[in-house]
């Protein structure tokens, strides 16, 4: 059967629209890299999608992709964009100029959204406008000439001759579309190569020398059990989980950074970088947990942090008696609602400038972030922090609260099996089952392990660094042939036992016992 010529023209028109859209997107990213890095078209649309996503969608993305959720989102946006471009191309072929209008509208939408972002600047709409204009102009040109050739070829012989001079064949349109895709990819690569702001801030970070802490922290000799495959007590910075709403890592120059403390205070305080590093620094080791961490999940890490106690800064501002919350704000607009008492009690809640002996990595909040032991990150771990507003829970909300998460997020008692890994195959005989347990700012006093339906047996605990960190545990088990299920539960320093009740991360953290299926052969 001979293919329908109109269908083949639709396909060629769709290819032209896809090629021109890739070209426009690449040029938009290139323009953004030069004039407004935070206004990258993909970052703008992706950021808006993150803001609009309900709690269940965020949790689903993290459960499916973990710390690769941002990459997955960008891929998803690209796929949807290309599908939309293909449909717009077919529309332009059959009902001009509506396909061009649709492509231009995509750029216009990005421009409008860019102005709503917290880090919007005067030139923020430009990258998206460039992307939409290029897609509409190039796509319209290619599809228009494809259509003119088709129309002329169905006319008289003279028109057919003119068509060959003025129009484009399907093969030629496909070839031009391929060139446009290549050019767009090169433009996007150029945007990545330029990255001027990122390189400049990275250079400033590399040149920084952290101040010597007035108070240091140490890891007890018995904190590491030395078991192969067991999570280390201190997580290397490169392995530390990253969950936040920033598709483009903010580039904050420490020489221009300021922190404003205001709201229900007797004295507003503004700190510059040089003011902060001149204050006595405290080193602490603390475990941070993401509220999206599933039972047995990996969205948790422990690091050595350096910074200034937040209570010292708040003491300068002198919060009023009615205040009960501090709304911390990032330069990219993210906010977290922390109970005031968690920032003013004796826990080591820090305005952190260092992580594992180095300045904070850019993706972990350089130059300054919050570290608050005992609270899930969504209500405490604000990166690239620029503002502390002392307020009340009945007057303000953090970023995730109106999206379905609880307003206060104390970390729940949890434990995890690391060794043997789930699905692991081991040999019969003496075997070690080991993992970690935590109840941040409360502490863990015991862990028990059950294999199949046997009795709960107490595990050996390593030395805890503090109540603000996780602790390793292990137990010996005589493995017998067959398929076995091991599970663990922890006991907190307050006497509570980890619940068996299974609950999802939303709205205030997952619960249940971690299990591992072990094959003994």
What is the average per-residue pLDDT within 332-337? 94
Give the pLDDT confidence score for residue 516 in this predicted structure: 94
What is the average per-residue pLDDT within 190-206? 81
* % of the chain exceeding 90 in pLDDT: 76
Give the pLDDT confidence score for residue 412 in this predicted structure: 98
Residue 111 has pLDDT above 90, yes or no: yes
Give the pLDDT confidence score for residue 265 in this predicted structure: 98
- Which numeric CATH code is attached to 414-520? 2.60.40.650
Q: Which of 462, 288, 452 is nearest to 374 (CA)?
A: 288
Q: How confident is the model at residue 89 (pLDDT cuts 50, 70, 90)?
A: very high
What is the average per-residue pLDDT within 90-103? 94
Q: How confident is the model at residue 197 (pLDDT cuts 50, 70, 90)?
A: low
Q: Which ranges in the chain are annotated with CATH 3.90.420.10?
A: 237-403
CA distance 49 to 119: 16
What is the average per-residue pLDDT within 315-337? 97
CA distance 350 to 110: 37
Rg value, the chain, Cα: 28
Give the pLDDT confidence score for residue 1 in this predicted structure: 46
Give residue-wise pLDDT tens across range 416-470: 999 998 778 899 999 999 999 999 999 999 999 999 999 999 999 999 999 999 9
Residue 151 has pLDDT above 70, yes or no: yes
What is the average per-residue pLDDT within 253-281? 97
What is the average per-residue pLDDT within 173-189? 93
DSSP state at residue 238:
G
**What are the Cα distances from residue 40, in Å, to 48, 84, 125, 393?**
12, 19, 9, 34
What is the domain class of 237-403 according to CATH? alpha beta
What is the average per-residue pLDDT within 148-172? 66
DSSP-based helix, strand, coil % in the chain, nearest 5: 40, 25, 35
Residue 140 has pLDDT above 60, yes or no: yes
For residues 219 and 46, which has the higher predicted lDDT (pLDDT)? 219
* % of the chain exceeding 70 in pLDDT: 95
Give the pLDDT confidence score for residue 508 in this predicted structure: 94
CA distance 365 to 252: 9
Q: Which of 456, 490, 452, 459 is nearest to 476 (CA)?
A: 459
Give the pLDDT confidence score for residue 195 in this predicted structure: 67
Mean per-residue pLDDT of the chain: 92
Q: How confident is the model at residue 4 (pLDDT cuts 50, 70, 90)?
A: low
Give the pLDDT confidence score for residue 352 in this predicted structure: 98
What is the average per-residue pLDDT within 322-338? 96
Please tell me the pTM assigned to this model: 0.83
Residue 254 has pLDDT above 70, yes or no: yes
Residue 371 has pLDDT above 90, yes or no: yes
């Amino acid at each position: 059967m001979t293919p329908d010529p109109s269908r083949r023209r639709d396909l060629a028109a769709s290819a032209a629209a896809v090629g021109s859209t890739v070209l426009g997107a690449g040029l938009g990213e290139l323009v953004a890299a030069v004039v407004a890095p935070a206004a990258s078209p993909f970052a703008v649309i992706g950021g808006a999608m993150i803001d609009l996503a309900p709690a269940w969608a965020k949790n689903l993305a993290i459960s499916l992709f973990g710390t690769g959720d941002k990459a997955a989102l960008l891929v998803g946006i690209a796929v949807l964009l290309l599908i939309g471009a293909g449909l717009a191309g077919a529309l332009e072929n059959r009902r001009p100029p509506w396909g061009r209008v649709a492509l231009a509208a995509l750029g216009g939408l990005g421009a409008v959204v860019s102005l709503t972002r917290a880090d919007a600047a005067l030139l923020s709409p430009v990258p998206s406008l460039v992307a939409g204009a290029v897609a509409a102009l190039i796509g319209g040109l290619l599809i228009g000439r494809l259509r003119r050739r088709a129309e002329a070829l169905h006319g008289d012989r003279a028109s057919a001759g003119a068509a060959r001079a003025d129009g484009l064949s399907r093969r030629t349109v496909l070839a031009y579309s391929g060139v446009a895709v290549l050019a767009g990819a090169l433009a996007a690569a150029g945007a990545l190569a330029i990255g001027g702001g990122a390189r400049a801030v990275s250079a400033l970070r590399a040149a920084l020398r952290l101040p010597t802490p007035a108070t240091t922290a140490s890891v007890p000799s018995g904190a590491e059990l030395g078991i192969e495959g067991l999570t280390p007590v201190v997580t290397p910075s490169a392995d530390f989980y990253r969950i936040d709403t920033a598709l483009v890592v903010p580039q904050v120059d420490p020489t221009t950074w300021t922190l404003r403390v205001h709201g229900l205070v007797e004295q507003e305080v503004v700190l510059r970088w040089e003011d902060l590093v001149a204050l006595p620094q405290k080193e602490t080791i603390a475990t941070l947990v993401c509220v999206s961490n599933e039972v047995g999940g990996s969205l948790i890490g422990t690091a050595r942090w350096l910074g200034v106690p937040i209570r010292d800064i708040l003491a300068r501002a002198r919060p009023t008696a009615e205040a009960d919350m501090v709304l911390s704000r990032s330069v990219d607009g993210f906010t977290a609602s922390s109970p005031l008492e968690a920032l003013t009690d004796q826990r080591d809640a820090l305005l952190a400038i260092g992580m594992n002996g180095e300045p904070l990595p850019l993706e972990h909040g350089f130059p300054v972030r919050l570290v608050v032991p005992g609270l899930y990150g969504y209500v405490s771990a604000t990166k690239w922090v620029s503002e502390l507003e002392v307020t009340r829970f009945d007057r303000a909300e953090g970023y995730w609260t109106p999206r379905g998460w609880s307003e206060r997020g104390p970390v729940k008692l949890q434990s995890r099996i690391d060794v043997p890994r789930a699905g692991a195959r081991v040999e019969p005989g003496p075997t070690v089952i080991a993992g970690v347990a935590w109840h941040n700012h409360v502490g863990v006093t015991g862990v028990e392990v059950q294999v199949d339906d046997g009795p709960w047996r107490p595990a050996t605990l390593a030395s805890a660094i503090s109540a603000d960190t996780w602790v390793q545990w292990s137990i010996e088990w005589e493995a017998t042939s067959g398929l076995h299920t091991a599970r663990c539960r922890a006991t907190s320093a307050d006497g509570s036992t980890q619940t068996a009740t299974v609950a999802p991360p939303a709205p205030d953290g997952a619960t249940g016992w971690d299990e591992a299926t072990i094959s003994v052969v």
